[in-house]
Amino acid sequence: MNIYDVSKKAGVSIATVSRVLNGNRNVSDKTKERVLSVMEELGYTPNVFARGLGLNTMHTIGILCSDSSDAFLANAVYYLEQTLRKNGYESFLCCTGYELENKKNYLRLLLSKRVDAVILVGSHYLEANKADNDYIISAANEVPVMMINGYLNHPNIYCTLCDDYQAVYDTVTRLAAHGRKHFAFLYRSDSSSSRIKIKGFRDGMEAAGLTISEDAVRLCPNDIPSTQTILTDLYKEGISYDAILTSEDCLAVAAVKFAGTAGLRIPEDLEIVGYNNSLLCICTAPELSTLDNHVETLSITTVNTLMRVLQGADVPNKTMISNDFIVRGTAY
Amino acid sequence: MNIYDVSKKAGVSIATVSRVLNGNRNVSDKTKERVLSVMEELGYTPNVFARGLGLNTMHTIGILCSDSSDAFLANAVYYLEQTLRKNGYESFLCCTGYELENKKNYLRLLLSKRVDAVILVGSHYLEANKADNDYIISAANEVPVMMINGYLNHPNIYCTLCDDYQAVYDTVTRLAAHGRKHFAFLYRSDSSSSRIKIKGFRDGMEAAGLTISEDAVRLCPNDIPSTQTILTDLYKEGISYDAILTSEDCLAVAAVKFAGTAGLRIPEDLEIVGYNNSLLCICTAPELSTLDNHVETLSITTVNTLMRVLQGADVPNKTMISNDFIVRGTAY
User: Residues A97-150: pLDDT tens digits?
Assistant: 899 999 999 999 889 888 999 999 998 998 888 899 999 999 999 999 999 999
How does residue B143 score in pLDDT terms, banded at 50, 70 and 90?
very high
Mean pLDDT throughout B76-103?
92
Question: Could you tell me the CA-to-CA distances from B58 to A19, A20, B51 in Å, in that order?
Answer: 33, 32, 9
Alpha carbons A172 and B57: distance in angstroms, whole number: 54
Q: What is the largest CA-CA distance in chain B?
A: 76
**Cα B328 from chain centroid?**
25
Phi, psi of B226 (to 5 degrees): -65, -40
pLDDT score of A11? 85
Q: What pLDDT, on the 0 to 100 scale, is given for residue B22? A: 64
User: Does residue B113 or residue A276 have the better pLDDT?
Assistant: A276
One-letter amino acid identity for A263? G
Contact status of A250 with chain B (Cβ, < 8 Å): yes
DSSP helix/strand/coil, B131: helix
**A91 close to B (CB below 8 A):** yes
Superfamily of domain covering A3-42: lambda repressor-like DNA-binding domains (1.10.260.40)
Residue of A nearest to B296 (CA): A69
pLDDT at A22: 65
Q: Which residues contact A193 (CB under 8 A, 6 or more apart)?
A: A122, A123, A149, A164, A247
Give mean pLDDT, residues A15-20: 76
Secondary structure of residue A119 in the 3-state scheme:
strand
Strand blocks (E) in B42-112: 60-65, 90-95
A65, A276, A282, A283, best to mutate vs chain B, most B CBs in 10 Å:
A283
Instruction: Check if CATH label 1.20.120.550 holds for domain B55-162+295-321.
Output: no
Residue A12 and residue A155 in contact, taking contact as beta carbons nearer than 8 Å: no
**Which residue spans within B170-229 are E strands per DSSP?**
183-187, 217-219
For the segment A221-244, what is each residue's pLDDT rounded down to a tens digit? Answer: 988 999 999 999 888 888 789 999
Q: Which of B75, B94, B250, B279 to mutate to probe the A interface, most A CBs <10 Å?
A: B279
Give chain B positions within 8 Å (CB) of A82.
97
Least trusted range by pLDDT, from A30-34, A287-291, B39-43, B309-313: B39-43
CB contact at 8 A, A146 and A91? no
The size of chain A, in residues, is: 332
Task: Please tell me the predicted confidence (pLDDT) of residue B114.
Answer: 83
pLDDT of residue A69: 84
> In chain A, which among 276-295 make CB contacts under 8 A with chain B?
279-280, 282-285
Residue from the list B91, B250, B283 with its beta carbon closest to the beta carbon of A284: B283
CA end-to-end span of chain B: 56
Question: Contact B137/B166 with Cβ under 8 angstroms?
Answer: no
Q: How many CB atoms lie within 10 A of CB B209?
A: 8
Nearest to B203 by CA among B164, B168, B156, B255: B168
Listed in sequence order, the residues at least 6 apart from A104 whose beta carbon sits closer than 8 Å to its beta carbon are A135
Percentage with pLDDT > 90 across chain B: 67
The predicted model gives B44-51 an average pLDDT of 43
Cβ distance B280 to A285 less than 8 Å, yes or no, reads no
**Nearest-CA distance from A280 to chain B in Å?**
6
- Helix and strand element counts for chain B (H, E): 12, 12
For residue B94, what is the nearest residue in chain A, using CA coordinates?
A92
Give the pLDDT score at B49: 37
pLDDT score recorded for residue A192: 86
Residue of chain B whose Cα is closest to the Cα of A71: B69
Q: How confident is the model at residue B51 (pLDDT cuts 50, 70, 90)?
A: very low
* Amino acid occupying residue A93: L
Report residue B30's pLDDT band, with 50, 70 and 90 as the boundaries.
confident
Q: ipTM exceeding 0.90?
A: no
| Mean pLDDT across B5-20 | 79
Q: Show Cβ contacts of residue B223 under 8 Å, excluding neighbours closer than 6 positions.
A: none
Q: What is the CA radius of gyration of chain B?
A: 23
Q: Where are the beta strands (DSSP E) in B88-141?
A: 90-95, 117-121
pLDDT at A31: 85
Find all residues with CB under 8 Å of A253, minimum gap 6, and list them.
Answer: A224, A274, A280, A283, A284, A288, B282, B283
Fold of domain A164-292: Rossmann fold (3.40.50)
**Amino acid B50: pLDDT:** 38
**B267 or A239, greater pLDDT:** B267
Angle, CA of A121, A289 and A211, to the nearest 5°: 90
How confident is residue A55, by pLDDT bands cut at 50, 70 and 90?
Answer: very low
**Cα B105 to Cα B203: distance, rounded to the nearest angstrom:** 38
| Best CA proximity match to B142, nearest among B1, B318, B319 | B1
Give the alpha-carbon dihedral of B287, B291, B296, B302, to 10 degrees: -170
Q: How far apart are CA B79 and CA B72, in angstroms?
A: 11
pLDDT band of B1, cuts 50, 70, 90 = low
CB A172 within 8 A of CB A245: yes
pTM here?
Answer: 0.78
Indicate yes or no: CB of B93 within 8 angstroms of CB of A90: no
Rounded distance, CA A232 to CA A257, Å? 10
| pLDDT classification of B70: cutoffs 50, 70, 90 | confident
Distance CA A193, CA B317 (A): 45
H or E stretch covering B274: strand B271-275
Separation between Cα atoms, residue A212 and residue A202, nearest integer Å: 8
Q: Which residue has the higher pLDDT, B113 or B47?
A: B113
Confidence (pLDDT) at A330? 98
Per the CB < 8 Å rule, is A60 touching B253?
A: no
B15 band by pLDDT with thresholds 50, 70 and 90: confident
Angle at A230 between CA A226 and CA A236, to 5 degrees: 140
Asked if omega into B286 is within 30° of 0 (cis), the reply is yes
- Mean pLDDT for chain B? 89
Contact across the interface for B282 and A250, Cβ inside 8 Å: no
- B148 DSSP β-pair partners: B121, B160
Q: In what order do the strands lie in the sheet with A145-148?
A: A318-321, A157-162, A145-148, A117-121, A60-65, A90-95, B90-95, B60-65, B117-121, B145-148, B157-162, B318-321
Mapping DSSP to helix (H, G, I), strand (E, B) and coil, where does residue A217 land? strand
Q: Quote the minimal CA–CA distance from A107 to chain B in Å.
A: 11
CB distance A251 to A186 below 8 Å: yes
What is the per-residue pLDDT for B24? 66
Query: Does this chain's domain B3-42 share its CATH topology with B55-162+295-321?
Result: no
Q: Where are chain A's structural domains?
A: 3-42, 55-162+295-321, 164-292
Q: What stretches of chain A show up as alpha helix (H) in DSSP?
A: 3-10, 14-21, 29-42, 46-52, 71-86, 100-112, 134-140, 164-177, 192-207, 224-236, 249-262, 295-310
d(Cα A246, Cα A192) in Å, to the nearest integer? 15
